[in-house]
């Protein structure tokens, strides 16, 4: 009788232990009601990963992660990445994701920025790669040539959109992805529209970057594109103020003065004929489409409206343009804008 009781106690103890271990493995790991993310770096160890997890773990589930990590040999399989810790994920599931490198993708937003260093800085906040390594890749002529670009046309590789990528994506892998996205965008139909405008795809993006900086009004953009195309066809200088800002690398300028127009740069369209060597920003898809679907009209001049609405007065003659320019200049002076 006594032996039977002892046997029963042993069985109950084993069952209780099994239940505790099962609870460690299969109970919800996180204490949070929303997903959090753990970032595993290249120099992390199993212990440093556990330290990162402790902030969101329940005490018993942390034990489950460590035990499952020991069983699965996680110490020899620490894989860098961004891993989601959802409210419902169990300790065992989480460890399997970590051990097998099952990352959660990052929603990478390509923004509208003026320069490639600015793009590198913005993307570095979303990716493991730092701004210096990204900027180096974006200005590496050999690497860019492999992707059909130059340092000047590098912005043409980046179409503003939201992409899913892994946090650990390298700068070169990012360029590969952007090239695939660019190639997919430039369908035969869009290439035909570019040809109709007398431009290559890269030239479309370059002109779109000027349109982007000239107006934020989507409805007006095809008209602005048509005006610049008219100037190109007539052999006139574009004389686009945003190119002067880019040449000076002074994007805060509110008023372009005569002394600014002499900036010695291939991007200054007051000094140089034709398009600049490359985009003066990463333009929106709306601006690119505006160039492809430009408005046909006789205008060759444009000037910001004196009501500061962000739109423009267009003119077919220089006399009309001077009248428009005078109204805008007087409005600037009235507001004390220099």
Beta strands 36-40; 106-109: pairing state: unpaired
- Asked if residue 10 has pLDDT above 50, the reply is no
Among 150, 153, 288, which Cα is nearest to 218's? 288
pLDDT on residue 17? 47
Q: Which residues of 77-108 are buried (b: 16+ CB within 10 A; e: fewer)?
A: ebbbbbbebbeebbbbbbbebbbeeebbebeb
Helices of type H across the chain: 2-26, 46-53, 59-72, 91-100, 116-124, 131-138, 141-145, 171-185, 188-196, 201-214, 221-234, 241-248, 285-292, 318-335
What is the rounded CA–CA span in Å between residue 184 and residue 189?
12
- Asked if residue 7 has pLDDT above 60, the reply is no
Among 97-111, 173-187, 324-338, name the one with the lowest average pLDDT. Answer: 324-338
Q: State pLDDT tens for residues 213-267.
A: 999 999 999 999 999 999 999 999 999 999 999 999 999 888 788 889 889 999 9
Question: CB–CB of 191/202 below 8 Å?
Answer: no
SS3 84: strand
Q: State pLDDT tens for residues 58-88.
A: 877 888 889 889 989 999 999 999 999 998 8
Q: What percent of the chain shows pLDDT beyond 90?
A: 72
- Asked if residue 1 has pLDDT above 80, the reply is no
pLDDT on residue 9? 46
Report the DSSP beta bridge partners of residue 40. Answer: 81
Q: State pLDDT tens for residues 78-114.
A: 999 999 999 889 888 999 999 999 999 999 999 999 9
pLDDT on residue 71? 87
More confident residue, 22 or 198: 198
Q: How much is the average pLDDT of 148-154?
A: 97
* Entry pTM: 0.87
Question: CB–CB of 316/299 below 8 Å?
Answer: yes
pLDDT on residue 78? 96
- Asked if residue 8 has pLDDT above 70, the reply is no
- Asked if residue 5 has pLDDT above 60, the reply is no
């Amino acid at each position: 009788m006594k032996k039977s009781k002892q046997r029963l106690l042993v069985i109950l103890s084993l069952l209780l232990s099994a239940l505790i271990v099962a609870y460690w493995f299969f109970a919800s790991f996180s204490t949070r009601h929303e997903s959090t993310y753990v970032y595993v770096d290249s120099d992390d160890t199993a212990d440093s990963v556990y330290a990162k997890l402790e902030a969101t773990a329940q005490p018993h589930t942390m034990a489950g992660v460590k035990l499952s990590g020991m069983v699965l040999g996680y110490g020899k399989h620490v894989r860098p990445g961004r891993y989601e810790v959802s409210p419902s994920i169990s300790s065992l599931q989480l460890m399997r994701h970590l051990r097998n490198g099952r990352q959660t993708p990052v929603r990478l937003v390509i923004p509208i920025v003026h320069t490639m260093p600015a793009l590198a800085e913005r993307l570095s906040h979303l990716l493991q790669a730092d701004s210096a390594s990204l900027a180096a890749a974006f200005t590496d002529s050999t690497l860019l040539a492999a992707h059909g670009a130059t340092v000047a046309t590098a912005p043409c590789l980046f179409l503003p959109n939201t992409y899913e990528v892994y946090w650990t994506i390298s700068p070169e892998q990012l360029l590969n992805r952007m090239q695939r996205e660019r190639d997919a965008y430039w369908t035969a139909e869009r290439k035909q529209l570019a040809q109709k405008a007398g431009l290559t795809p890269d030239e479309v993006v370059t002109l779109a970057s000027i349109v982007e900086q000239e107006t934020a009004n989507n409805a007006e953009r095809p008209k602005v594109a048509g005006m610049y195309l008219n100037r190109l066809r007539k052999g006139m200088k574009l004389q686009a103020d945003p190119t002067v800002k880019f040449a000076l690398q002074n994007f805060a300028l509110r008023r372009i003065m005569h002394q600014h127009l002499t900036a010695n740069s291939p991007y200054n369209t007051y000094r140089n004929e034709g398009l600049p060597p490359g985009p003066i920003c990463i333009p929106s898809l709306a601006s690119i489409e505006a160039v492809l679907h430009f408005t046909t009209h006789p205008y060759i001049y444009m000037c910001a409206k004196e009501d500061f609405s962000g739109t423009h007065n267009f003119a077919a003659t220089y006399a009309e343009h001077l009248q428009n320019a005078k109204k805008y200049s007087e409005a600037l002076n009235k507001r004390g804008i220099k």
